Structure 1
Amino acid sequence: MISVVGHTAIDHLFRVPNLPGRHNSTYIVDHQVYFGGGAANIAAGIAMLGEKCRLISSVGSDFPGSDYDRWLRDLGVEQDFAVVKGARTATAYVFTDDAGDQETFFEWGASAAFSRAEAPALDFVHMATADPDFNVRVAQKSKFASFDPGQDLLRYSPEQLEIILANIDILFSNNHEMDRMCDMLGLERDALVDSVPMVVTTRGAEGSVLCMDCEEFRVPAVRVDAVDPTGAGDGYRAGFLTAFRKGYAPLDCCRAGAVVSSFVVEKVGTQTNLPDWDRMLERYRKVFGEPGEIIV
C-alpha cells in the first residue's frame, strides 16, 4: 500500500496566447474543468497502474457523491478524507500560454483543515503539496517517506524544510524548486542533494536526474506530441513510486516515471490519459528496452 498525503482539487485549466504579466491583460482561448490536486493525481496514477493506494486528503462538502468521488472509488483509491462542512474542495486555476509556460493560482478551501489534523504514522508515504506543518509531522512518524514540495514550497519555513529533509528517503522536485530550496536553506545544490538518500529532479523536456550514492544518472524525457504539461510531474511520481514499490531499481523507476508522464501530457487534464501497467510497460520497452529485474 502506498499512502499519498495532500490536496484533492478541482482544476480549471485555461489556455491563453501569452501570460500578460503585471498590470496587463489577455484573453482566454479555452477553459476546461478537470479532476486534479497533486496528491489525488498521484494516487489516481498509482491506482491506474494497479498498485493499492490510500489518499489522505481534505475535501469540501461539495465532494461526497460528486463525479470526482465516484471516479476515485471506481479506480480503487482508498479514501481517507476529512470532509469540511461549509467549505469548498480546493481549486486550482492554471493558465498555460502558447509557449507552454504556466501560472497557477490555488484556492486552498477545505485543504486548510490539514493544519488541524492529526498526522498518521504510515509505512510508505508520499507527501505531495499540503500544509507544511502536517507534512512535517507525517515525515517524523512514517517509516519510509518521499516528499514533493511542489507549488506549496513558498509556505514552508527553512526550519520545516530541514526537519522534512532529515526524515525522508526520496526528494522529488523540479529545477526551480531545487534552486528555491537551496536559497531558503543557504546550501549549495550538492550539499542539499547529499543530505537525502535519493533525489530526483525533473527538468521538463530535458528529462530528469537521479542522484544517489554520490552518483548522478540522467534519464531522457519520452518524446510525444504534448498537448498540455499540467500534471506531468504528478504522473512521473506515480510511475516512479509504483515501480519502486514493485521492487524495481531506482533508475528503472525514473524511466517508468518518464513514461507515465508522457501519457499525461498527450491530453488536457491531469487524470484523463493515465496508463495501466501493461500500457506503460509497452511504451517503456519501445523507448528504454526491457526493464531490469525486480531487486527486492
Structure 2
Amino acid sequence: MIHIVGHTAIDHISKVPHLPEKNCSTHISDRRIYYGGGASNIAAGIATLGEQVTLHSCVGGDFAGSDYDQWMTRLGIQQQFFVVPGAHTPTAFMFTDDNGDQMTFFEWGASKAFATSEAPSLPLVHMATADPDFNCRVAERSEFVSFDPGQDVFWYTKEQLELIIVNTDILFANQHEVKQMCITMGITREVLIRQVDMAIFTMSSDGSTLYNKGREEFVPVVPVTLADPTGAGDAYRAGFLSAYVRGYPPLTCCRIGTVTASFVVEHIGCQTHLPDWETMLTRYRQHFGTLDPHRKGSVNT
C-alpha cells in the first residue's frame, strides 16, 4: 500500500496567450474544470497503474457524494479524509500560456484543517503539497518517506525543511523548487542532494535527473504533442512510486515516471488521460526497451 498525503482540489484550468505582468491583464481563450490536487493526482495515477493507494487529504462538506468522490471510488482509491463541513474543497486556478509557462492561484479551503489534524504513522508515504507542519509530523512518524514540496515550497521555513529532509528517503522536486529549497535552507544544490538517500529533479521538457548513491543519471522526456503541462510532475511521481513498490531499480522507476507523465500532457486535465500498466508498458518499450511487466521486488508496502 502506498500512502499519499496532501491536497484534493478542483482545478480550473485556463489557456492564455501570455502571462500578464503585475497590474496588467490578458484574455482567456479556454477554461475548463477538472479533478486535481497534487496528492489526489498522484493517487489517481497509482490506482490506474494497478497499485493499492490510500489518500490522506482534507475536503469540504461539498465533497461527499460528488462526481469527484464517485470518480475516486471507481478508481479504487481508499480515502482517509479530514472533512470540514463549513469549508470548500480546495480549488486551484491555473493559467497556462502559449509557451507552456504556468501561474497558479490556490484556495486552501478545507486544507487548513491539516494544521490541527493528527498526523498518521505510515509504512510508506509520499508527501505532496500540504501544510508544512503536518508534513513535518508525518515525516517524523513514518518509516519510509518520499517528499515533494511542490508549489507550496514557499510556505516552508528553514527549520521545517531541515526536519523533513533529515527524515526523507526520496526527494522529488522541479528546478524551481530545488532553487527555492536551497535559498530557504542556505545550502547548495550539491549539499541538498547529499542529505537524502535519493533525489529526482525534473526539468520540464528537458527531462529529469536521478541522484542515487553518488551517481547522476539523466532521463530524457518521451516526445509527445503537448496539450497542457499541468499534472506532469504528479504523473511522474505516480509512475515512479508504482514501479518502486514493484521492485524495479530507481533508474527504471524514473523512466516509468517519464512515460506515465507523457500521457498526461497529451490532454488537458491531470486525471483525464492516465495510463494503466499495460498501456504504459507499450510506450515504455518503444522508447526504453524491454521491461518485465510482472517483476515483483522486496519493497515492503
Task: Tell me what 2:194 maps to.
Answer: 194
Task: Tell me what 2:287 maps to.
Answer: 287
1:30 partnered with 2:52: no
* In structure 2, distance between residues paired with 1:295 and 1:58: 32
Retained in 1: the 8 A contact 2:202–2:208? yes
Retained in 1: the 8 A contact 2:246–2:297? no
Equivalent AA in structure 2 for residue 248 of structure 1: Y
Task: Tell me what 1:276 maps to.
Answer: 276
1:185 partnered with 2:185: yes
Task: Tell me what 2:235 maps to.
Answer: 235
Retained in 2: the 8 A contact 1:51–1:242? yes
* In structure 2, distance between residues paired with 1:153 and 1:163: 14
Quote how far apart the aligned CAs of 1:188 are: 1.1
Residues 128-277 of structure 1 mapped to structure 2, 5 A cutoff: 128-277=128-277
* In structure 1, distance between residues paired with 2:254 and 2:81: 29
Identity of matched residues, %? 58
Retained in 1: the 8 A contact 2:16–2:27? yes
Quote how far apart the aligned CAs of 1:83 are: 1.0
Q: Deviations over 1:74-132 (max 9, x none)?
A: 00000101110110000000000111110000000000000010000000000000000
* In structure 2, distance between residues paired with 1:60 and 1:186: 37
Retained in 2: the 8 A contact 1:87–1:109? yes
**With structure 1 as the length reference, what TM-score do the two structures score?**
0.99
Task: Tell me what 2:19 maps to.
Answer: 19
Retained in 1: the 8 A contact 2:12–2:33? yes
Secondary structure of residue in 2 paired with 1:162: helix
Task: Tell me what 1:46 maps to.
Answer: 46
Q: Deviations over 1:212-236 (max 9, x none)?
A: 1111000000100110000000000
Task: Tell me what 2:102 maps to.
Answer: 102
* In structure 2, distance between residues paired with 1:78 and 1:295: 23
Gaps of 5+ in 1: none
Secondary structure of residue in 1 paired with 2:93: strand
Gaps of 5+ in 2: none
Retained in 2: the 8 A contact 1:249–1:295? no
Tell me which stretches of 4 or more aligned residues in structure 1 moved more than 4 Å: 292-295
Secondary structure of residue in 1 paired with 2:25: coil
The count of corresponding residues between Structure 1 and Structure 2 is 296
**With structure 2 as the length reference, what TM-score do the two structures score?**
0.97
Retained in 1: the 8 A contact 2:245–2:297? no
